[in-house]
């Protein structure tokens, strides 16, 4: 996929690199197919010319530096590109990070929009990749992928509540270094002695592993719920409707903010409630006591 400009006549960055590698055939096809150019947020296809690919899907990202700040336009670039890929019957697509170069979109936000949109868009493409230009960008992409996976893991506790396992609780917190988010999931109160507490844990330091199983950002909350049940043998349905209602409200805020909750961390003084997004100041009340 090529991050093009509205004129569709080649340019710098990824656009220039693709035209140079693909040869004049790519430009000739751009002129024929897009005589009036292409609108921001839209996508279209040309030959790949001399590139080792069947097609180039071109999309025009919003120019943040020129005042185009609408995240819906940036999300549309990825969504429309996948729609074009489906129309072509493509099985794999490699994406650059749209608008995060000379167009100036803040990189962290650009990564989050890209990963969230690619994971939430229905597509028949089997292999979707985000190609990072440098190590820092690679780390941002990896962090965004783990973030989406962690959200699915939290959602799996709500799935278990809906199935009647309402005593299952989650305790999210930051590691002592402040670098990694962690969560402990247990069917016994967290104040229970650690030797008697049945629980499973996850840390973003562990990447795409949970209870010894390889997972991905596309692993569904239902699959995570099954992994938790298997990891806590003897788990039985039990009612705790007050906690289940509180947790559902918590997740509504988490999804609205698109941030992970934090119950406590070494780097700030205890405050009432849980924070949604470490350092954000957005807080929710503490959970009700265990039954």
| Percent of the chain predicted with pLDDT > 90 | 84
Which of 97, 131, 165 is the C-terminal boundary of a domain?
131
Token pair of 152, please?
Answer: 């699915």
DSSP secondary structure, 48-80, as one string? -TTSSSSEEEEEE---GGGT---HHHHHHHHHH
pLDDT of residue 93: 97
pLDDT of residue 15: 95
- Cα 2 → chain centroid: 21
- Give the pLDDT band (50/70/90) at residue 191: confident
Separation CA 140–CA 172 (nearest Å): 21
What value does the mean pLDDT take over residues 177-204? 87
Find, among 46, 93, 47, 95, the residue nearest to 74 by Cα: 95
- Give the pLDDT band (50/70/90) at residue 190: confident
What are the start-end ranges of the E strands in 89-248?
A: 92-95, 127-130, 169-174, 181-186, 199-203, 209-210, 213-214
User: Are 55 and 158 found together in one domain?
Assistant: no
Which CATH number covers residue 57? 3.40.220.10
User: Are 234 and 196 found together in one domain?
Assistant: yes
Note whether residue 60 is domain-resident.
yes
pLDDT of residue 268: 66
pLDDT of residue 113: 96
Q: Summarize pLDDT for 240-274 with one digit per residue, the tens.
A: 999 999 999 999 999 999 999 999 987 666 678 99
What value does the mean pLDDT take over residues 4-18? 94
CB 73 within 8 A of CB 113: no
User: Are 161 and 218 found together in one domain?
Assistant: yes
User: Are 158 and 92 found together in one domain?
Assistant: no
Cα angle 160, 161, 165; round to 5: 75
What are the start-end ranges of the E strands in 21-168?
A: 43-47, 55-60, 92-95, 127-130
pLDDT of residue 177: 86
Separation CA 265–CA 126 (nearest Å): 39
What is the total residue count of the chain? 291
Average the pLDDT over each of 88-92, 129-133, 188-192 and give the range with the smallest value.
188-192
Note whether residue 138 is domain-resident.
no
Class of residue 280 by CB neighbours under 10 A (exposed 0-12, middle 13-18, buried 19+):
exposed
Note whether residue 289 is domain-resident.
no
Find, among 55, 56, 48, the residue nearest to 3 by Cα: 56
Token pair of 95, please?
Answer: 């994406």
Note whether residue 168 is domain-resident.
yes
Class of residue 35 by CB neighbours under 10 A (exposed 0-12, middle 13-18, buried 19+):
exposed
pLDDT above 80: residue 196: no
User: Are 157 and 125 found together in one domain?
Assistant: no
Which residues are known catalytic residues? 15
Note whether residue 244 is domain-resident.
yes
Mean pLDDT, the chain, rounded, equals 94
Note whether residue 145 is domain-resident.
no
CB 116 within 8 A of CB 148: yes
What value does the mean pLDDT take over residues 192-216? 87
What value does the mean pLDDT take over residues 10-23? 94
Q: Summarize pLDDT for 111-155 with one digit per residue, the tens.
A: 999 999 999 999 999 999 999 989 999 999 999 999 999 999 999
pLDDT above 70: residue 197: yes
Task: Say how many domains are in the chain.
Answer: 2
User: Are 81 and 157 found together in one domain?
Assistant: no
Separation CA 145–CA 76 (nearest Å): 19
Average the pLDDT over each of 30-44, 96-110, 120-134, 178-192 and give the range with the smallest value.
178-192
Note whether residue 157 is domain-resident.
yes
Q: Which domain holds residue 188?
A: 152-284
pLDDT above 80: residue 291: no
């Amino acid at each position: 996929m090529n991050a093009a400009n509205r004129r569709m006549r080649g340019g710098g960055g990824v656009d220039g690199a693709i035209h140079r590698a693909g040869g004049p055939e790519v430009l000739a096809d751009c002129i024929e197919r897009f005589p009036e150019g292409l609108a921001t947020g839209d996508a279209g296809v040309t030959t790949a010319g001399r590139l080792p690919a069947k097609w180039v899907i071109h999309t025009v990202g919003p120019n943040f530096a020129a005042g185009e700040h609408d995240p819906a336009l940036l999300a549309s670039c990825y969504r429309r590109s996948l729609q074009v890929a489906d129309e072509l019957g493509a099985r794999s697509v490699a994406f650059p990070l749209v608008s995060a170069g000379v167009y100036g979109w803040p990189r962290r936000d650009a990564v989050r929009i890209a990963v969230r949109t690619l994971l939430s868009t229905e597509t028949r493409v089997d292999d979707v990749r985000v190609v990072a230009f440098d190590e820092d960008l690679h780390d941002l992409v990896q962090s965004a992928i783990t973030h989406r996976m962690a959200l699915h893991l939290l959602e799996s506790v709500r799935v278990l509540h809906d199935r009647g396992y309402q005593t299952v609780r989650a305790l999210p917190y930051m590691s002592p270094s402040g670098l990694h988010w962690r969560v402990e999931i247990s069917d016994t109160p967290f104040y229970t002695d650690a030797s008697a507490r049945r629980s499973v844990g996850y840390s973003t330091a562990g990447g795409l592993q949970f209870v010894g199983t390889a997972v991905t950002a596309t692993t569904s909350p239902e699959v995570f719920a099954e992994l938790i049940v298997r990891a806590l043998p003897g788990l039985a349905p039990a009612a705790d409707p007050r906690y289940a209602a509180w947790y559902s409200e918590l997740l509504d805020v988490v999804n609205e903010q698109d941030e992970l909750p934090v119950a406590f961390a070494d780097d700030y003084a205890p405050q009432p409630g849980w924070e949604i997004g470490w350092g954000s100041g957005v807080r929710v009340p503490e959970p009700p006591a265990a039954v």
